[in-house]
Amino acid sequence: MIAVTAWKGGNSALAITDCEHTTGLICGSGNSTDRFAVVSMVQDQSGDRTDKQGEHCVDRITATDGHEFMTAHTKDSPRVRRTSTTLADGRELIYFDDSEPYLSGSKSRNAVDERPLDTRPTAGTIRMDALTGDWVSIADHRQNRTFLPPTDECPLCPTGGGTMPSEIPADAYDVVVFENRFPSFAGGSTTTAAASMNPLLAHAPASGRCEVVCFTSDHDASFSSLSVARARTVVDVWVDRTRELSAMAGVQSVFCFENRGREIGVTLNHPHGQIYAYPFIPARTASLLAQATSHHRSTGRLLGADLLAAELDAGSRVVIRGTAWTAYVPYAARWPVEVHLVPNRDVADLVALDSAERDELAEVYLDLLGRLDRYYQAPDGSPIAMPYIAGWHQGPVGQGREVSRLHLQAMSVLRAPGRLKYLAGSESGVGAWINDVAPEAVAARLREVG
């Protein structure tokens, strides 16, 4: 028998079964295998948790409340310390520290949020579009959210560096995650899922969670300027949040993404991303799942794997070919600049990646973002920072995982310097996409600037 540290600083005991190894809590792929790509978590009584990377043999442990975790055998040294705390209005904030003095625990995250905040908003409603079958979130409380504040009033910078307290009470941080103050999906809804008087006007609570991920405390940085080590920490964060949000009651899909640039519609310039945990399967995810399911029924193979093989065979649209990852411009790209980054191994989500795949992802993703930032040039030859959306398409939580294959989609509306691709009549009206740029030309340019 072995000892297990209490989870999240609580007092719940953990019943351990079939344990033969040193233990920690891991993020596994959730499938039936007995080997998992993991991040082991060791947490002390103050609420801090240290993350270790590696591929380990795992056993299952069960808390007294019935929640199942995993145990892992690891000898790796810790690389990220995770500390969960609470903001003034009750929202959760999590520090992910990869540097001293917090990594070793020699100093604790104990800054207190003393802002006089209003009561946190509860979930609104989602309404069913009877014409398409799509759910639409109605979140009118977001109309008054912060919009492009001056740098000294940035709510994502550490507190003390500007003229007002920010969302992060600490005076410095590595990577931080917190619940969005203006969420499209949240808990505590006062709306019930009672049937509408008219079945064509169906609605339900907009339950779920929306989180903000601050990649760095440096307001003037970008993801592409992060060190490989810091990018690796962000990968750990995506894994951690995917695992935990997927375990929330009612969550059916988790989407990690970044909006970069005012052309995309960014309302805060500080380098950050977001994570949405949806109470339904979003329309594009459902479409991807339907295609993957149909392909699997016809061939017995994964659509994502066959697509990767086809792109490698063609070669003309491949941008980066690594040991664990490949980046290519899709054959039927919709956006003027669009790249897919895919693992060479079949995995359904970020949680299933092993340590080596996560290591290489940090390097390859920075390479890809650097190429995007060198894609266009100003008249004086200086590079033009690429506005983009980058999002991780993962297998849904409860269905279709056996046919799902993880991939990142990076896309930009910038079709030329100073010229944007607008989703006008054809795209917005009937969903018929028209791309003005040949995918092969995009791939050639991305290879050229590598």
323-341 average pLDDT score: 98
- Return the pLDDT at 119: 86
Work out the average pLDDT over 119-136: 92
pLDDT, greater one: 369 or 191 = 369
Q: What are 193-236's pLDDT values in tens digits?
A: 555 789 999 999 999 999 999 999 999 999 999 999 999 999 99
CA distance 31 to 348: 10
Residue 187: the pLDDT is: 86
SS (H, E, C) 183-230: CCCCCCCCCCCCCCCCHHHCEEECCCEEEEEECCCCCCCCHHHCCHHH
- Distance (Å, rounded) from C-alpha 226 to C-alpha 17? 41
What per-residue confidence (pLDDT) applies to 48? Answer: 58
Percent of the chain with pLDDT over 90: 74
pLDDT on residue 22: 28
What are the residue ranges spanned by the domains of the chain? 7-77, 82-278, 283-448
Is residue 201 classed exposed, middle or buried when 0-12, 13-18 and 19+ CB atoms within 10 A define those classes? exposed
The whole-angstrom separation of Cα 371 and Cα 446 is 6
Topology adopted by domain 283-448:
HIT family, subunit A (3.30.428)
pTM of the prediction? 0.85
Report in angstroms the alpha-carbon separations of 421 from 337, 408, 425, 430: 10, 21, 12, 17
Q: How many residues are present in the chain?
A: 450
Higher pLDDT, 335 or 141: 335
Domains 82-278 and 283-448 agree in fold:
yes
User: What pLDDT, on a 0 to 100 scale, did the predictor assign at position 195?
Assistant: 57
Residue 2: what pLDDT?
Answer: 28
* Domain 82-278 superfamily per CATH: HIT-like (3.30.428.10)
A 10 A CB-CB count for 282 gives 17
CA distances to 126, 225, 272 from 213, rounded to whole Å, are 24, 16, 5
pLDDT tens readout for residues 240-275: 999 999 999 999 999 999 999 999 999 999 999 999
Query: In whole numbers, what is the pLDDT of the chain averaged over residues?
Result: 85
Just list the catalytic residues.
272
Under the banding of pLDDT at 50, 70 and 90, the label for residue 121 is confident
Higher pLDDT, 190 or 305: 305
For 346-362, what is each residue's pLDDT tens digit? Answer: 999 999 999 999 999 99
Comparing CA positions, the residue from 40, 78, 75, 72 lying closest to residue 56 is: 72
CA distance 143 to 138: 11
| Whether residue 17 has pLDDT greater than 80 | no
Of the candidates 29, 41, 74, the residue with the CA atom closest to the CA atom of residue 56 = 74
The SS3 assignment for 171 reads coil
CA angle 36, 223, 77 (to 5 degrees): 40
Write the CB contacts of 440 (distance below 8 Å, at least 6 apart in sequence). 316, 317, 329
Give the pLDDT mean for 61-71. Answer: 34
Does residue 91 contact residue 181 with C-beta atoms inside 8 Å?
A: yes
What is the DSSP track for 386-424? PPEEEEEE---SSS-TTT---EEEEEESEEETTEE----
- Residue range 293-321, pLDDT digits in tens: 999 999 999 999 999 999 999 999 999 99
**pLDDT recorded at residue 78:** 80
Nearest by Cα to 25 from 45, 49, 46:
49
- Please give the Cα distance from 139 to 309 (Å, whole number): 42
pLDDT tens-place string over residues 168-181 = 999 999 999 999 99
